[in-house]
């Protein structure tokens, strides 16, 4: 009965541990699915040309076009640049960054804002602040896609306004325009790059906080540009997601149950050891010659005992009145 009870307890404890492990696995699966759903939503927005600001990165002002003749004998008119700077509104239509003007491989970032300015020589230039994607950062680090090539409204009549809009911006290694700023995303701040305008466009900073972005992705972006990790507030340090709290409680419960199981197993091992010692002692006695001789004489002893039981002592008759005998006196 005791052994059956112990086996039942052991079976219950094992099943309890299995159930807790399944609960923990489900918690992890939910966390992973939530993170995967967020990443998938971000990628879908990227493919559809939606808001790319989840990268939380922004460059300084970069020259993307210069008024005048291009290297392939075309002309970029000043009015195009003025119109683009005036009309550009990313909430209305976002100009995305396309590798070599191709739409087949997804965009590599977006244009945040535009402005048109003249340099010291009176030449009009169009400047942009960009939000680069990770694919552009990787390509740029490998020395690829170093320049920019604007894509203006083909007929110069954006939405019947009679003006030109920046509808896209290509990242390329063979730009047609001149005096565009070479893209050089760097970890080191303070460099001044660009042959005409001394712009430190390598300073990249966070421009938007988005709660949905994963902590791992945020850390990777900051590390790439040597951006310091923001200090956690007291509220952030003390707060803990419900899922993590449940996980901690589940792990604590499992630890206690496992400790109890280990204790019971230790007690069972001690009991088995004691029984084994008793068995060894009995075995030593049974294996002796005296015990073997005793076992050999046992049949004879049983036989003799049976003979003793068969012998009956004759008792005298209790009726002394039968037959009168005289006494023989000496």
CA distance 53 to 221: 13
**Residue 329: inside a domain:** no
User: Do both 79 and 21 map to the same domain?
Assistant: no
The model carries a pTM of 0.42
**Residue 264: inside a domain:** no
Q: What is the model's pLDDT at position 235?
A: 57
**Residue 67: inside a domain:** yes
Q: Residues with catalytic annotation?
A: 72, 101, 149
What band does 191 get if pLDDT is binned at 50, 70 and 90?
A: very low
User: Do both 296 and 193 map to the same domain?
Assistant: no
User: Do both 16 and 82 map to the same domain?
Assistant: no
Residue 278 CB burial class (10 angstroms; 0-12, 13-18, ≥19): exposed
**Residue 189: inside a domain:** yes
207 near 53, Cβ under 8 Å? yes
67 near 76, Cβ under 8 Å? yes
Residues 6+ apart with CB under 8 A from 17: 254, 257, 258, 261
User: Do both 190 and 284 map to the same domain?
Assistant: no
User: Do both 188 and 71 map to the same domain?
Assistant: yes
Pick from 145, 137, 125, 50: nearest CA to 93: 50
Paired residues of 166 in beta bridges: 152
Residue 290 structural domain: 275-305
**Residue 266: inside a domain:** no
pLDDT above 90: percentage of residues in the chain: 18
Query: Which tens digits make up the pLDDT trace of 147-187?
Result: 888 899 989 899 999 999 999 998 887 665 444 555 554 44
Q: How many domains does the chain have?
A: 3
Which whole number is the average pLDDT over 317-326? 57
**Residue 330: inside a domain:** no
**Residue 137: inside a domain:** yes
SS (H, E, C) 48-112: CCCCCHHHCCECCCEEEEECEECCCCCEECHHHHHHHHHHCCCCCCCCEEEECCCCCCCCCEEEE
């Amino acid at each position: 009965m005791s052994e059956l009870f112990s086996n039942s307890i052991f079976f219950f404890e094992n099943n309890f541990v299995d159930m807790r492990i399944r609960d923990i696995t489900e918690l992890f699966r939910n966390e992973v699915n939530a993170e995967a759903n967020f990443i998938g939503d971000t990628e879908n927005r990227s493919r559809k040309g939606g808001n790319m600001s989840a990268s939380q990165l922004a460059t300084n002002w970069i020259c993307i076009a210069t008024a005048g003749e291009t290297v392939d004998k075309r002309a970029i008119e000043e009015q195009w640049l003025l119109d683009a700077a005036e009309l550009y509104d990313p909430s209305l239509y976002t100009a995305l960054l396309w590798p070599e003007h191709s739409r087949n491989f997804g965009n590599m970032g977006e244009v945040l804002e535009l402005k048109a300015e003249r340099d010291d020589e009176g030449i009009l230039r169009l400047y942009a602040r960009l939000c680069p994607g990770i694919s552009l950062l990787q390509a740029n680090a490998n020395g690829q896609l170093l320049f920019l090539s604007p894509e203006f409204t083909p007929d110069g009549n954006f939405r019947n306004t009679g003006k030109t809009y920046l509808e896209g911006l290509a990242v390329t290694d063979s730009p047609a325009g001149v005096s565009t700023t070479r893209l050089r995303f760097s970890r080191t701040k303070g460099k001044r790059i660009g042959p005409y305008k001394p712009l430190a466009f390598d300073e990249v900073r966070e421009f938007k906080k988005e709660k949905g972005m994963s902590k791992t992705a945020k850390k990777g972006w900051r590390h790439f540009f040597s951006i310091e990790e923001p200090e956690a507030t007291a509220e952030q340090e003390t707060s803990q997601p419900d899922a993590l709290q449940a996980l901690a409680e589940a792990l604590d419960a499992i630890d206690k149950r496992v400790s109890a199981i280990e204790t019971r197993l230790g007690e069972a091992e001690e009991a088995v050891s004691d029984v084994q010692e008793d068995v060894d002692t009995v075995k030593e006695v049974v294996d002796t010659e005296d015990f073997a001789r005793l076992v050999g004489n046992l049949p004879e002893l049983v036989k003799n005992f049976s003979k003793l039981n068969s012998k009956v002592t004759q008792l005298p008759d209790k009726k002394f009145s039968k037959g009168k005998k005289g006494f023989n006196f000496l």
